[in-house]
A and B are shown apart, each in its own frame.
Chain A
């Protein structure tokens, strides 16, 4: 085996890449026809076979171009640029039917077989070494195609997650009207920069809409208050004030209170209450609508 390989080096074609490129251009039509019957193309372009064939031609052209550049191993080759979007749409269509990424990858890999067969059929008189050099170049090229598809599929997946995150941002920040002139947002989960921006905007909007005089930010459901979260809270408080309302932060749990002190955060100017109920009581009293209590002393912080 090893001997063959060293001996073969002298007889390998100068540039197997460009030879594969030329082959792809010659066999463009046959290959596109064969690919149209492969699952990847057949299941995406279900309405008209013509479309599948046309999509196949575009991919063959791209591969021929990449091979012609002699860069069969380079997923960043500009030859892929024109097909990237099409490939991404195909992979996404397959993923939507419930296919795992590895199955999609296998389907891309399956395209290699017909290409390989056509290539070998074209070289009946060539030496074994020559054939091997060409099929190796083709294999590498098809592997690169697979990489390109997976890359685009992944970034598609990331875009999907981004969209879902965006949707979550919106549903996760309901502003509740607690009373005439009092609105509240119960914050739940991570208060990152994007989320806190949404919180601030929705809160300010409802302060205006409801002509609220008090806005309560309840952080019972926020697991960690670090300097960034604190900064977001303080910005929101300041913005609410600018709208002419007063902001109360409630739900600071004891462990978080201690942590805030160690962190060195100064919430001095921020009105805080232990619970949402306490914050509501505070706001009601300030509005002159005090709560009548059945038992005295019930106002203590919980």
Chain B
């Protein structure tokens, strides 16, 4: 594991409000380590905050895994939120702005999708939900002998 990966890669529980704070702090620090600019950092942290809260509130808790990815030119941060909650029966509806089954604004999922570069959601009713997001730094990272 490279020096950068050491501060980036982590598996964090999402079981309480306090865990949400930890997730945000980790994503902020990890994205800064990878060289994301302030705006991109803020976007990633905000997307992570939305997805982690969904994991907690609707998924009944779960975890997030942060990994460092690279496509040879740029470094990226991938966040995978997973829970074994009830799943999402209608993905399209869940992703549409303004839809909420709770008391939220219904902007979390759709907003998170707009805040990151890549967004994938995999949900099976009765089994759980996994949301994977990835964003890439603008510049190539300093050479570190591969990821």
Residue positions of A touching B, CB distance < 8 A = 190, 192, 223-228, 230-231, 254-256, 258-259, 262-265
Asked if B42 is at the interface of the complex by the 8 Å CB criterion, the answer is: yes
* Majority DSSP secondary structure for residues of A touching B: helix
Chain A neighbourhood of B28, CB < 8 A:
223
Most buried by A among B17, B20, B42, B115: B42
Flag whether B105 is at the interface (Cβ < 8 A).
yes
Whether B46 contacts A225 by the Cβ 8 Å rule is yes
User: Contact at A255–B39, with CB atoms within 8 Å?
Assistant: yes
Q: Which positions 22-55 of chain B face chain A at CB distance < 8 Å?
A: 24, 28, 38-39, 41-43, 45-46, 49-50, 53
Residue in A190, A231, A254, A259 whose beta carbon sits within 8 Å of that of B46 in the complex? A259
Q: Are B39 and A224 in contact (CB under 8 A)?
A: no
Indicate which residue in B21, B38, B111 contacts A227 across the interface (CB closer than 8 Å). Answer: B111
B39 touches A263 (CB 8 A): no
Given A259-B115, A264-B97, CB of A226 within 8 Å of CB of B104: no
Looking across the interface, which residue of chain B has its beta carbon closest to that of A260?
A: B46
Residues of chain B touching chain A, judged by Cβ–Cβ distance below 8 Å, are: 17, 20-21, 24, 28, 38-39, 41-43, 45-46, 49-50, 53, 97, 104-105, 107-108, 110-111, 114-115
Residue of B nearest to A229 (CB): B49
Residue pair A227, B45 in contact (C-beta under 8 Å): no
Chain B residues near A264 (CB-CB < 8 A): 97, 107, 110-111, 114
Check A258–B39 contact: CB distance below 8 A. yes
CB contact under 8 A between A255 and B114, given known A223-B28, A264-B97:
no
Chain A to chain B contacts (Cβ below 8 Å), 28 pairs: A223-B24, A223-B28, A223-B45, A224-B24, A224-B45, A224-B49, A226-B46, A226-B49, A226-B108, A227-B104, A227-B107, A228-B104, A230-B105, A231-B105, A255-B39, A255-B41, A255-B42, A258-B43, A259-B39, A259-B43, A262-B114, A263-B46, A263-B50, A263-B111, A263-B114, A264-B111, A265-B105, A265-B107
Nearest-CB distance from A114 to chain B (Å)? Answer: 39
Contacts of B20 in A (CB 8 A): 192
Docked pose: A208 CA to B20 CA in angstroms: 34
User: Looking at chain B's contact residues, is the secondary structure mostly helix, strand, loop, or mixed?
Assistant: helix
Minimum C-beta distance from A266 to chain B (A):
9
Contacts of A259 in B (CB 8 A): 39, 42-43, 46, 115
Residues of A contacting B46 with CB < 8 Å? Answer: 224-226, 259, 263
B21 close to A263 (CB less than 8 A): no
Interchain CA distance A190-B43 in the complex, whole Å = 16
Q: Which residues on the B side are within 8 Å of A263 (C-beta)?
A: 46, 50, 107, 111, 114-115
- A249 vs B20: C-alpha distance when bound (angstroms): 24
Q: Would A254 and B110 count as touching, CB distance under 8 A?
A: no
